[in-house]
Amino acid sequence: MTETRCDVLVIGGGPAGSTISALLAQRGRDVVLLEKSRHPRFHIGESLLPFNMPLFERLGVAREIEAIGMPKYGAEFVSPAHEKPVMFEFVNALDNSFPSTYQVRRSEFDHILFRNAARNGARTLEGCRVTGVEFRPGGADVSAREESGRERAWPARFVVDASGRDTFLASRLGLKQRSRKHNSAAIYGHFSGAERLPGRAEGNITIFWFEHGWFWLIPLADGATSVGAVCWPHYMKSRTTTPQQFLLDTIALCPALAGRLRHARLISPVTATGNYSYSAGRAAGAHYILLGDAFAFIDPIFSTGVFLAMHGAFTGADAVETCLDHPRRARRALITYDADVRRGLRVFSWFIYRIMAPGLRNIFMNPNNRFQLRDALLSVLAGNTVLRARLALRLLALKALYYVFSAGDLQASWTAWRKRGQAIRERGAETVTSGPVA
């Protein structure tokens, strides 16, 4: 076994791990970044938020992301219960400092961030899977195995778990908890020849509601279009065909989406996965923090994954530095970090938990900008999680409007909440295939 010491060992070379590795290496820390796969590798989550943009600038990768990105200026919502689609443009948000963002191939995007970590001085190692972490006074001993079978070990002063939905530390420390408020599963693939929106809206994401959940349609710069359905688990369990046929049959249940794909051709394997919402009991502890999906996963509808991962990496880097340089202040720094990552989740989750409720759908499909309520909603969709008074008050009014709409159609609201409750109770849905399938 080869042993090498380091200041910080980071598990996972996705957006969270690569970002915090670059930041800490820039500050002179000896960082080891371990990635179990090899870049470029496939990953879902191709739609970014405008509040990602300043993070790219601070990392020094903005031009590289621009080169691979499809400009995204807003989001279109389509509901079978409403006559016309609705387009939200980020330029109308309360804080419109960042009026656009990108759709990206995650294989390219993640590779850029991983290379940037190495360029800034992090020691990066691909094809190396972490197999164990043993905490001790002053740090932890991390063991890993390379693809060749070679065993490696790193005594580290601090461990960052950015392992994504592997949730390496949360699972091993008994911190992972299934959400009691949300549960869903997804199936997706890439198409060529999908119909895109005209003009500058060509790169905008479209969200389609349908009976069993919702679809995303994400145009990519190379001409491909990512299409996926996020559904109630009991619907996914009803599959009796191949995943490919099941996706095509599900698309047929949404005429608006089927129309956009009438000349399209599937060009990738179809992937089915359990998108169960979960979180860890805490985001930090003595000598470690959890980043991004390694801490919590809600639902992909508002494209929050990459933003929360990278934002958490910036605040996490500050917490790690405090722990390394000022051990007496470590506990306070970790409490602050935990509170910060939970705040972002809370802002988005209120809307996510209600996304299938008629009351919230009516708000999206009938955007009323009286008192700037639409602009407040847009700020959340753009990734603004810092609820200063101006935004916070309008979001409170927006939530009150939701309850008014819900009371106006009690039968539909009760039906939606009953279906949601059934989905949360569905644990047999774990039979859904995870990973690429033919």
Q: Which residues contact 295 (CB under 8 A, 6 or more apart)?
A: 170, 279, 280, 283, 312, 341
User: Can you list the residues of the chain whose pLDDT is less than 50?
Assistant: 427-438
**Alpha-carbon distances of 71 from 49, 53, 377, 383, rounded to whole Å:** 11, 12, 21, 16
- Looking at residue 204, its pLDDT comes to 98
Spacing of C-alpha 41 from chain mean position:
17
- Looking at residue 430, its pLDDT comes to 43
- Alpha carbons 45 and 113: distance in angstroms, whole number: 15
- Alpha carbons 296 and 305: distance in angstroms, whole number: 10
- Alpha carbons 306 and 288: distance in angstroms, whole number: 21
- Looking at residue 2, its pLDDT comes to 67
- Alpha carbons 257 and 425: distance in angstroms, whole number: 29
Encode pLDDT of 17-58 as tens digits.
999 999 999 999 999 999 999 999 999 999 999 999 999 999
Residue 284 burial (C-beta neighbours within 10 Å; 0-12, 13-18, 19+):
buried
- Looking at residue 399, its pLDDT comes to 93
- Alpha carbons 155 and 134: distance in angstroms, whole number: 9
* Token code pair at residue 320: 């790690």
- Looking at residue 181, its pLDDT comes to 78
- Alpha carbons 60 and 75: distance in angstroms, whole number: 27
| Residue 389 burial (CB count, 10 A) | 7
- All structural domains of the chain: 2-43+53-62+104-178+280-345 (3.50.50.60), 185-276+431-437 (3.30.9.100), 349-428 (no CATH)
Encode pLDDT of 120-165 as tens digits.
999 999 999 999 999 999 999 999 999 999 999 999 999 999 999 9
- Looking at residue 275, its pLDDT comes to 59
C-alpha angle 222-15-432 in degrees, rounded to nearest 5: 80
Place of tokens 């461990």: 159
3-state SS class at 329 = helix
The model carries a pTM of 0.93
231, 208 contact by CB (below 8 A): no
3-state SS class at 46 = coil
Q: Write b or e for each residue in 319-353: b if 16 or more Cβ atoms lie within 10 A of its Cβ, otherwise e.
A: bbbbbbeeeeebeebbeebbebbbebbebbbbbbb
- Alpha carbons 372 and 395: distance in angstroms, whole number: 10
- Looking at residue 386, its pLDDT comes to 84
